[in-house]
Structure 1
């Protein structure tokens, strides 16, 4: 996908005038097809909507697929633009709808605009702003999920020590939200609270406290009347975690409510080592894939198979994409994760909401264009079909050695391999490549010689493996030599290792002492966290060790760093901290 379609400014025609009693009835049923939005002069207007909400909660949640998060906006602290995003506009929701999304989650943090003492009044202007944003999304024929977001750690987390005070504020918050939005159509869904943790409580206390909040939320919304009598309501597990015991607790709470309009919600950010690139999680390997499969199987078996719909309120990778820093997760490995997640969600019958923190992560809200259109193309494709991938998206050819055949393993994912292309030229099986057992793809030495050309370091050519459906898998042919590191001096606040990357890419850093114990800020694994403990600086030819890593080192004792590169190369380096001084020494022959 080379870009996005520009959003349409066409408005579908409204339902026209209806008798007051009929309109009121349609509002209660969530079928009125219209919602009030604010005009430029502040007056209320009616915007057309063609959404018809299915009666069954399971069908309604299915109709919400796919979903998108307006992250780091109304949930930002202390105000809407504090975390780097522009104010939300109706045009933004036009774009989201045009790009194929059918629902949006609008996280809201209320604390900065709410009194901290009873009756915990929410500022009227802020409530009006939230309503304006919600109504814009509804008017663009999107389902909307509205919640209490970062309040969960700002004041709700104090519930173990201040039970009555927190419960009173929580109840007041939902009483005010329920009243403000009770005439909205049924396309508006309420979510009780985002990722509640209760950090200072025991596991048993956490279960009790969350059940109390979810139950109180349900009772308050239902008792507020009008459109809230059958509005779809969403309840979360502790921290949004999809572990079996926490989902069992949520299932018990939902079943005790005896209400067919309830939805379970959890979040999923992949297997942690892969999501942040720590503990050797450099590839989307079996451990990461199994973690995802198991999580969605639990969602299906605990809820969906028992008649309770699941809305995956957030998914993505932690800290990825981050266009301000080197990517923690190798691009092709990330694409495999997104492709797999879409497939697993469809199998489980789960609706997925992409967490988009804005600030140029996924959708650039200034330009209304995707920061990485190809990445979004993979996400979008996963909503409806599978795509073939491979064991990696690069073939490394060493410059200092004679060129030999190199291979990859295709992950067919239920597709059939249709061939390999270089630009518009289709490569010939048997001459340019061989295919063993329908999935072991090997590029011949002759082909690699042609593709690498003058053998400049870096990507020399990009191939496409095409399949019977889905997107083609791109394979970069890369010329490299083992990276070279040089001696350096610095301080505990600033230290960089001069590095000749020579076409290679840094995957991870392993850190140990001579006695075999782990070095670095993460003591439970020798493989330190990408960007947090170290990061490559490709333009300036260095590897940066962060102050967090340097200050964690034992004084006067050398730590051995092993840098792993995606070509498979490993290079050792010794670093010693003495007071505030840091000395680094390349290990020859490593």
Structure 2
């Protein structure tokens, strides 16, 4: 996706949540569910919408194609033309549903008809049919319109213009697709957000406007006839956020319809600090897990437990929009294993957001095969892993045993391989009570020569995907002096086999320097990057745009455990190390 505005709303919601966690002054709204009208006891027999949602699991998003905005249509945001082979690949990879975001903005005629460009709609429908031909469920929505004209629907100063356009667009879409298979479902509006032309409005007013939008949407579709009289409709919470007040508002809207063919949807991109690597949250820790479980629990309690199916229309990690290197790879894999496990336990379907950076749309292969392997395995079982997938050994420690705790998730360890060579239990390693100990005599074989990854140890389990542990020979990284400018300052780093985990930036008084100065730990890609082929850590122009002149102390945290201090002085547009 081109998520400039989309990301802004997600971050706004996440910052509020994270700020609350830091302050610990606002209690969780645990009793908000009591405000739900006519809330029922947990449903034991699956309803139509619950069954439909579970049939969509797992799902995938065709992002940044038909939702892109620009004169070149579906290729405007850098992706190639969608091919039938791509859709066939999605099916062959095990996905059961596909969300095909559609942006009407820039593709409709003048008021009052707002006629959708027929060529574009016909082309979009061709891809929908390709998906149906593969037996996939298909979700149709209007997408980035949320950040253009649609945010003014029912605005006090809009005179009904935006609602008129909304009704016109959905009237056309409903009529166009009304004879299509029941495997096509309609989503009213992506990540809805509402404001006045003169400025923002309260959350309560926004929820009232969303209820009106969802009501108009349902009326239009149901009155269009054909298969639309019983077509599954997907209604979002405000901002597709999982807070109690937003879930309660949507539940009340849905329950008022008394319509068995309605599902709820929300989006989830993880605990924000982990999702973008900020505030020192670099591992899939207990706080990150708690955020995930509480989010899905809220949605389950409001909807699934009351007979309303739920689909997470988008899930992933926000860091994917900027860099695949922002989050340590093993921690990333743990996140995807856990979210698939937990969502499944709650009967909630997941649709992976892919803007073209996950499944390559030219070669039809995964850019990160280990990620896909983890996803695929997690659809049917749990995966196992060690505390970290990275081991760092210095020369002086080469003969020491190394112990690794395993999280088995109900599996058993079968064997360990280094390439095609099977490690010998009792000689190369020992195993007891979930702890693998590599013998120093085995580790010592690899600790010589150049620094870097010396062996990839593959753990095999009774179920789930293999888990790789990378054995790295390293010594303490060395930083060199440098001069440069605020357009992008390169710090020469001899990584010496280690890798950067996170970076702190503080002024002399200890306060945070750079963007998001509520934390000293900076966000990867936004404030800094690491390049292991050119041996530099780069402070971005965005970092310096939020910095005062003077001395800034950097603390570079490495995955091997070292923390190295590096001082710089900013003077106007000039930067130099001290």
TM over 0.5: yes
CA contact (8 A) 2:384 2:461 kept: yes
Aligned CA distance change for structure 1 residues 164 and 512 (closer, same or farther; 3 Å): same
CA distance in 1, matches of 2:402, 2:208: 57
> Larger deviation: 387-396 or 465-474?
465-474
CA RMSD of aligned residues (A): 1.6
Alignment partner, residue 342 of structure 2: 344
Q: Match for 1:521 among 515, 520, 524?
A: 515
Mapping 1:9-48, distance limit 5 Å: none
Q: Following TM superposition, by how much is the alpha carbon of 1:428 offset from its aligned partner in structure 2, in angstroms? A: 3.4
Q: Following TM superposition, by how much is the alpha carbon of 1:299 offset from its aligned partner in structure 2, in angstroms? A: 2.2
Q: Following TM superposition, by how much is the alpha carbon of 1:163 offset from its aligned partner in structure 2, in angstroms? A: 5.7
CA contact (8 A) 1:395 1:407 kept: no
Give the match's secondary structure for 1:561: strand
Alignment partner, residue 490 of structure 1: 484
CA distance in 2, matches of 1:55, 1:187: 16
> Larger deviation: 237-246 or 400-409?
400-409
Alignment partner, residue 552 of structure 2: 559
Deviations for 1:124-170, whole angstroms, at most 9, x for unmatched residues? 22222222221121122111000010000111112334261111111
CA distance in 1, matches of 2:256, 2:399: 67
Q: Match for 1:448 among 443, 447, 451?
A: 443
Q: Match for 1:424 among 420, 424, 427?
A: 420
Q: Following TM superposition, by how much is the alpha carbon of 1:491 offset from its aligned partner in structure 2, in angstroms? A: 1.1
The answer to which structure, 1 or 2, has the higher relative contact order (CA under 8 A, 6+ apart) is: 2
CA distance in 2, matches of 1:575, 1:162: 51
CA distance in 1, matches of 2:488, 2:233: 50
List alignment gaps of at least 5 residues for structure 2.
1-45
Mapping 1:180-191, distance limit 5 Å: 180-191=176-187
Q: Following TM superposition, by how much is the alpha carbon of 1:116 offset from its aligned partner in structure 2, in angstroms? A: 4.7
Q: Match for 2:561 among 555, 559, 568?
A: 568
Q: Following TM superposition, by how much is the alpha carbon of 1:350 offset from its aligned partner in structure 2, in angstroms? A: 0.9
CA contact (8 A) 2:137 2:184 kept: yes
Q: Following TM superposition, by how much is the alpha carbon of 1:373 offset from its aligned partner in structure 2, in angstroms? A: 2.1
Mapping 1:126-145, distance limit 5 Å: 126-145=120-139
CA distance in 2, matches of 1:473, 1:369: 21
Q: Match for 1:57 among 27, 49, 52?
A: 49
Q: Following TM superposition, by how much is the alpha carbon of 1:431 offset from its aligned partner in structure 2, in angstroms? A: 3.2
Alignment partner, residue 3 of structure 2: none
Mapping 1:165-244, distance limit 5 Å: 165-199=161-195, 200-244=200-244
Aligned CA distance change for structure 1 residues 326 and 241 (closer, same or farther; 3 Å): closer
Deviations for 1:339-381, whole angstroms, at most 9, x for unmatched residues? 11111111011111111101xx111111222222222111111
Alignment partner, residue 395 of structure 1: 391
1:75 aligns with 2:70: no
CA distance in 2, matches of 1:249, 1:551: 40
CA distance in 2, matches of 1:408, 1:175: 59
Give the match's secondary structure for 2:340: helix
Q: Following TM superposition, by how much is the alpha carbon of 1:63 offset from its aligned partner in structure 2, in angstroms? A: 1.4
CA contact (8 A) 1:158 1:166 kept: yes
Q: Following TM superposition, by how much is the alpha carbon of 1:172 offset from its aligned partner in structure 2, in angstroms? A: 1.0
Q: Following TM superposition, by how much is the alpha carbon of 1:406 offset from its aligned partner in structure 2, in angstroms? A: 2.0
Q: Following TM superposition, by how much is the alpha carbon of 1:553 offset from its aligned partner in structure 2, in angstroms? A: 1.8
Aligned CA distance change for structure 1 residues 90 and 61 (closer, same or farther; 3 Å): same
List alignment gaps of at least 5 residues for structure 1.
1-53, 586-590
CA contact (8 A) 2:47 2:260 kept: no
CA distance in 1, matches of 2:229, 2:143: 23
CA contact (8 A) 1:75 1:150 kept: yes
CA contact (8 A) 1:299 1:348 kept: no
CA contact (8 A) 1:399 1:455 kept: no
Q: Following TM superposition, by how much is the alpha carbon of 1:467 offset from its aligned partner in structure 2, in angstroms? A: 1.8
CA distance in 2, matches of 1:216, 1:165: 14
Alignment partner, residue 365 of structure 2: 369
Aligned residues: 525
Question: Of the two, which has the highest radius of gyration?
Answer: 1
Aligned CA distance change for structure 1 residues 188 and 55 (closer, same or farther; 3 Å): farther
Deviations for 1:296-323, whole angstroms, at most 9, x for unmatched residues? 222222211111001111111113276x
CA contact (8 A) 2:387 2:406 kept: yes
1:507 aligns with 2:501: yes
1:162 aligns with 2:158: yes
Give the match's secondary structure for 1:146: strand
Give the match's secondary structure for 1:194: coil
Q: Following TM superposition, by how much is the alpha carbon of 1:245 offset from its aligned partner in structure 2, in angstroms? A: 1.9
* TM-score of the superposed pair, with normalisation by structure 1: 0.86
Q: Following TM superposition, by how much is the alpha carbon of 1:285 offset from its aligned partner in structure 2, in angstroms? A: 0.9
